[in-house]
Every structure is written in structure tokens, then in C-alpha cells.
Amino acid sequence: MCGIVGAVSRRNIVPILVQGLQRLEYRGYDSCGLAVHAASPDAARPAGLQRARSTARVAELLAQVQTEHIEGASGIAHTRWATHGAPAVHNAHPHFSYGPLADGADGRPGRVALVHNGIIENHEELRAQLQARGYAFASQTDTEVIAHLVDSHYDGDLFQAVQAAVGALRGAYAIAVLHKDEPHRVVGARAGSPLILGVGQDGAEHFLASDAMALAGVTDQIVYLEEGDLVDLQLGRYWIVGKDRAPLTPAQRPVRTVQAFSGAAELGPYRHYMQKEIFEQPRAIADTLEGVQAVVPELFDGPGGTAAWRVFKEIDRVLILACGTSYYSGCTAKYWLEDIAGIPTQVEVASEYRYRTSVPDPRTLVVAISQSGETADTLAALRHAQGLGMRHTLTICNVATSAMVRECELAYITRAGVEIGVASTKAFTTQLAGLFLLTLALAQSRGRLTEDEEAAHLQAMRHLPVALQAVLALEPQIIGWAEVFARMENALFLGRGLHYPIALEGALKLKEISYIHAEAYPAGELKHGPLALVDASMPVVTVAPNDALLEKLKSNLQEVRARGGVLYVLADADTRIDSSEGIHVIRMPEHYGALSPILHVLPLQLLAYHTACARGTDVDKPRNLAKSVTVE
């Protein structure tokens, strides 16, 4: 999703802007651009705002910038993921305002340059007002209205102009703005989209970015801006005002030292980040569980010091909010929470929950699950639940510094490390590990976990990295399946009980990176409709653990075979399901009990990955998708 970088310095900051964009590439984008104040104007190129934009990769933008000798000591840059207006150069950011037409002829230099993440809901109304005042629009974006709005309020002070402009905006935004008359100044603002401030060398230079990773290697001194903040960056100084427009003290927005994992971008021996991240899962799970000696509520204590044990005593139910893959980890956890902890659990797609009338219960623990911790729908759903009076909140999140962690009472930080591939893999399995621990902690607080059970569960968790390694060793067999799947246009995924969400996740992985249409069903539902789709051209992938539903599942498999369907079964070693005509079996290790979903999802990730490779898609950046979905 869109990414922002901005800088004010004495040195040429173009390399920092470009490197920042490269570090944000993992979020997904379809165009990019930057604008600077020209540092050393010459006869061929007048002073003032200069811009380069591209619908190719950031590397192409860099080549363009070098060819055109664009240099400057302050500037802004952007990766765009199209929402309003197609991916095209004229819609790419930064957007310029040249002032109203009445101010001069076309071809004038830009007065305001602006980049934006988010969506402005009242852009049509603002566009009409600005057009009536003589502003001409060069793009179909909602962003361009903000550039003209800032220009229309400008009276010699960019900060004042931005402050006035954002007052008219409805929707979500993080913005960074330059004005041609103020060469050493960048103004930023955030409401609903993430933005951070980086304090650079000796406090003399300052940066803006969508996340700390964009500034890795430039500065690790980060200030997290909050909802409604405006920030003024100048040489050697910055200040921030809060949403009530009162200046904030350093104590209110402290500078934190942040490890931004600059080394995470190395691919090593892998072809794609997704493959690397699939193979990192044993390590990611080990890191996530490191230091867990016993099931204690303290594992979930909040960053602000809230004690989890107190909260656990005050709740009778769980409400899980999440999107996409994180939603499926929540669906898996529902089975654990109800079975092991005996606690009623509801799982909601965040984008739906926030807009429906629901019945709030203050004795609910609201659990927001997110890899990025910045997903707009999940954040909005969390705030909606809080607004309904459910103040007990917990996040399972992979980014310790994210809005989700800052806004929740309790937190469990997964240690998957930076996930770059758009398709989530190691974030999913580490979320499952965190959610299983949460289940055990809630079971314990409700007197439903004996010491022996606790010890057995912890032992199984500690053994997970080794068990996962054994599953990864199945890769060559899965490549064989992938060669067949690459020629298909449809696939069905079946699972039952705890493994139904794993079937859903397998189907999501396959469709998002290979573009094969895939659907998942609880196997018992087959005869209620989807069986009509089954014929020899419909591969049916089945997750078959040796659990209480195995015999039922075997009957469902017979239903598929009887209609000529071809089965691809991931069967636990002790299931006695064997390969035969029309049934291809990959043998998993012996059944792994309640933690089995963490093992069974790996072959499905590998199947999607190798199928996508065989079809030649852009595995790490699938079409139309973004890593961090910071707009609604």
C-alpha cells in the first residue's frame, strides 16, 4: 500500500528518498515518484520544485532522477497503490498545485508538492469548490484536492496552510507537503494513516516516513505521530501539534530508539521473499516462543503496564477482529478457545464488524490480530468496539511499534521478523502460536488447565520448530503437485473442524499469488452444493489430520471420488489414507494434536508458491494487492 518518505537536511537527500521507497516496496505499489527543492539550480533548470514520477519500479525512478540530475536538500517521495484513478504517471504522487489559472499561464512552476496515503471521502465536493475557484486538475486522484487546498490557504506559512487545509478533509490521510517559497521545510499530518518522524544526524536533519523500516540505516531515532498530529520539519528543529492544535512537549511524543531490521531485505539463497519466509517459520516460531517457560498471564501484559491477569478475571467472552489471513488465524483460535479454555468466542471480519449493529458486552476481551498492526479496517473495528464500551483489548501483532499495539490494553508480539512477501506466511503461523498461548493462559485463569496439561502443551509447542522442519522437507513432493495445479483454473480445498480455517487459508494463498480460482469448504458441506462443481478438471485438496473427524472426512472423500474428482490429500501418517487411482497422498508426520493446523498449513503455502512460480506470476507482489492495507 502507499508509502511516504520525506526529508529536510543540508545534504542532497535524493538517495535517502529513493532508498526509503525501496524499503517500502514490500508494501506493494503500482507507481512511484519524488519531488525536491532544487539544490543547485543552473541555467538549464530553474530553482524551485522538481519532480520525477514513474509507473515502473523504484529502480527506474532512480535512473530517471540520475538522468535528469535531480538533487535537493529537502523533498518528499511516494509509492502509490491506486485507489482513485488508474495507475498512470499523471495520477502518481507527488501532486503539484500551480495555483488557480487566474494567477498566470500554464507551464508555471509548481507551488505546492504533496504526497498522500489514505482516502479523502469528500474529495468530489472539494474538487468542485476548487474548480469553481479556478484550480485545474491534472489527475483523477482524491489527493490532488489536498495540494490545491493547501495552495488556496497559503499566505507565507506552509504549516498554517496545511493546518487550515486538513480541517476541511473527511477521511483518512497521512501527508507530506513542500512549498516552493520555503526550501528548508516539510510539513506532515496524519489522521487514520500511519506516519512517523525520524530525527537524523545530530538533530540537524529530520525525516518523515510511513514506517521506521523506510529509514533503516538513516536513523533509528523515531517519534510515532498520533491521530490528528501535525508536524513541522525544518533545519535543526521540528515541532508537533496535537489534534487540539496545542504544541506538544517532547514527553508527549518521545523519541524512541527503534531496531528497523535493515538486514531483513536480503534474499539469501531463495528465489523469492515468500519462499524465504516459508522456510523461516521454524525460526520465527522459536523466536516467538523464546523465553516462554510457563503459561503466565504476564506474557500478555500491555505496553502501558496493564496487568493481563486482572483483565482475564473481568472477561467472559472473546471477540476476535481481523482481516484476510489474520482472520483465518482467528477462526482457528476460536476452536481452541472454546474447546480448551471453554470461553465463548466470536470471530468477525473487521471491515464488516465496524459497520454492523452488534450487541456489545463489556465483559468481552476484544482481540485484534494483525501482522502489520496498521490495517485500517482492523484498527477501525477495534476503535468501534472500544466505542461500544468494550475496553478490554488485546492485540496479537508482529510490529511492536504499530498503532494496534499502542491502542490495545494488552499485547502479544509475535517475532516473525519483517514479512516482505505480500502473501502472509510466517506471520500466520506465529499468530497461531501466540493465540494458542493465549488459549492456555485463559484456560488457566478459568481453572481449566492442569499442570500436566500445561506441561504437555508447552512441550508440544517447543517441539514445533523441529516438526515444521520435517514438513518443509516435503517440498519436492509438493513441487510435483504444483506442476499439475499450474495447468488448472479452479481448485477446491476441504477441511473439517480445526482444519477448516486451514483449508480457507490454503485457498486464499493459491488465489492471491497464482490467480487460480480457489474455494474452501468444510468437507461436510460438499453435498449441500459444491459437489456440483466436481469433475476430473477440479483438483480437490484435502487437509486430513488424524483427529476425531477423520472417519467423517474419509466419507466426504469417497463422495468426491465417486464423481470422478481427483484428490490431493495431506494425510497424517497414522490416518491409513493411501495413494490410489485419483488419490494423491502426501504423508505428514504423525498427528500433532491441537497444534496440527500450524503444521498442515505449510504444504498449502508451498503448493501456492510453487504453482505461482510455475505460472510465472510476480510471487512477492501479486497484481492488485498490497502488503499493508492502510486504507479502508
> Interface with ligand F6R includes 423 (CB under 6 A)?
yes
Query: How many C-beta atoms lie closer than 10 Å to residue 473's C-beta?
Result: 9
Question: According to CB under 6 A, which one of 193, 332, 371, 429 is a site residue for ligand F6R?
Answer: 371
| C-alpha cell read off for 411 | 499485547
Parallel/antiparallel/unpaired status of strands 517-522 and 490-495: parallel
Q: Which stretch binds ligand F6R (CB under 6 A): 86-94, 364-372, 436-444, 576-584?
A: 364-372
> Interface with ligand F6R includes 378 (CB under 6 A)?
yes
CB of 320 to ligand F6R, least distance (A): 12
**408 annotated active-site:** no
> Interface with ligand F6R includes 197 (CB under 6 A)?
no
CB of 308 to ligand F6R, least distance (A): 22
Q: Sketch the per residue contact string, 441 through 470, with ligand F6R: x for CB under 6 A, - otherwise.
A: ------------------------------
> Interface with ligand F6R includes 75 (CB under 6 A)?
no
Catalytic residue among 180, 426, 509, 627: 627
> Interface with ligand F6R includes 546 (CB under 6 A)?
no
Question: According to CB under 6 A, which one of 31, 193, 332, 372 is a site residue for ligand F6R?
Answer: 372
The DSSP line for 345-391 is EEEEEHHHHTTS-----TTEEEEEEESSS--HHHHHHHHHHHHTT--
Q: Name the residue among 573, 616, 588, 557 with its Cα closest to residue 478.
A: 588
- Which residue number, 200 or 330, has a Cβ lying nearer to ligand F6R? 330
**527 annotated active-site:** no
- Which residue number, 14 or 416, has a Cβ lying nearer to ligand F6R? 416
- Which residue number, 199 or 604, has a Cβ lying nearer to ligand F6R? 604
3-state secondary structure 111-153: CEEEEEEEEECCHHHHHHHHHHCCCCCCCCCCHHHHHHHHHHH
- Which residue number, 17 or 508, has a Cβ lying nearer to ligand F6R? 508
Q: Are 63 and 76 in contact (CB under 8 A)?
A: no
d(CA 322, CA 252): 30
d(CA 441, CA 428): 20
CB of 369 to ligand F6R, least distance (A): 7
CB of 323 to ligand F6R, least distance (A): 4
Q: How many residues bind ligand F6R (CB under 6 A)?
A: 14
Q: Give me the residue label for grid cell 491409513.
A: 576
Three-state DSSP class for residue 410: strand
> Interface with ligand F6R includes 193 (CB under 6 A)?
no
Q: Which of residues 294-323 bind ligand F6R (CB under 6 A)?
A: 323
Give the CA angle between residues 105, 107, 108 to the nearest 5°: 75
> Interface with ligand F6R includes 514 (CB under 6 A)?
no
Is residue 63 classed exposed, middle or buried when 0-12, 13-18 and 19+ CB atoms within 10 A define those classes? middle
Three-state DSSP class for residue 12: coil
> Interface with ligand F6R includes 629 (CB under 6 A)?
yes
Query: How many C-beta atoms lie closer than 10 Å to residue 217's C-beta?
Result: 12
User: Which residues bind to ligand F6R, rule: CB under 6 A?
Assistant: 323-326, 370-372, 375, 378, 423-424, 508, 512, 629
